[in-house]
Structure 1
Amino acid sequence: MDLRHVVDQVLINDTKVLVEREREIMSKVLHYLREVDRRKLYADIGYSSMFAYCTDELRYSPDQAGRRISACRMLATLPEIEEKLDRGELNLTVLGLAKSYFKENNLTLAQQRELLDEITNKPKREVGR
């Protein structure tokens, strides 16, 4: 794709629109992955785990697969993360860090929600501390 001829302002505007669409698509992908996981459909087509399905069938890298699986499972108990992902207030990396922290510290659902509110709009370097 050659974008050298695209006017600067159009390029800036179109990039923003594409990123918004990308977030919408990510949210939809997470819902689909959640349902595949819930039904264990990966086993029906010969995969031993959701991770194997995501890496082998969907061709995600191990890190990409792990982040998506973690996020899709979080959607089940914390549906409010969908809006935050859609708006770019949270990303998959930050959610992965949060989920690890939740598990290590055995946080209640209320504590998880409180922590998610605290890390909303925070970059990874601040969340990882």
Structure 2
Amino acid sequence: MNITALSNSELLSGIHALVGQGRVILARLLAYLAEVEERRLDLQSACSSLFDFCVRRLGLSEDEACRRVMAARLARRFPLALRLLESSSPHAFPGQPPPR
């Protein structure tokens, strides 16, 4: 892919699309992590915790693993958080425009 050949509008359009795709992927990752913990697959994978699973099996940094585990647990408790993350800003409320 040669992004230097893109026009300014193509570049800006593409970056906005990537951010949107990133939100969807992050929401799915958090849902998967929550389900791995629910099924205790982290323990079956010879890891002491979901955090350990993220670091040892998924190759996340300790900081990233900590944030992902906390977010996955929050998403398990409040499923609306995943829908908000996928659709727009995590600061938005359903039916309301995102903050300016």
Give the TM-score normalised by structure 2.
Answer: 0.83
Segment drifting more, 1-10 vs 48-57: 1-10
2:39 maps to: 39
**Equivalent residue pairs, number:** 94
Q: Which amino acid is 1:89 matched to?
A: P
1:98-113 residue pairs with structure 2 within 5 A? none
2:85 maps to: 85
RMSD: 2.0
Q: Which runs of 5+ in 1 are unaligned?
A: 91-116, 123-129
Give the TM-score normalised by structure 1.
Answer: 0.66
Tell me how far apart the structure 1 counterparts of residues 58 and 45 of structure 2 sit (CA, whole Å).
13
Deviations 1:63-119 (A, max 9, x none): 1111111111111221111122221234xxxxxxxxxxxxxxxxxxxxxxxxxx7xx
C-alpha displacement at 1:31, in angstroms? 0.7
Identity value in percent: 29
Tell me how far apart the structure 1 counterparts of residues 13 and 68 of structure 2 sit (CA, whole Å).
28
Tell me how far apart the structure 2 counterparts of residues 76 and 59 of structure 1 sit (CA, whole Å).
22
Residue 4 of structure 1 aligns to a residue in which SS?
helix
8 A Cα contact 2:51 2:66, kept in partner: yes
1:54 maps to: 54
Tell me how far apart the structure 2 counterparts of residues 5 and 49 of structure 1 sit (CA, whole Å).
46
Tell me how far apart the structure 2 counterparts of residues 88 and 24 of structure 1 sit (CA, whole Å).
11
8 A Cα contact 2:81 2:90, kept in partner: no
Q: Which amino acid is 1:21 matched to?
A: Q
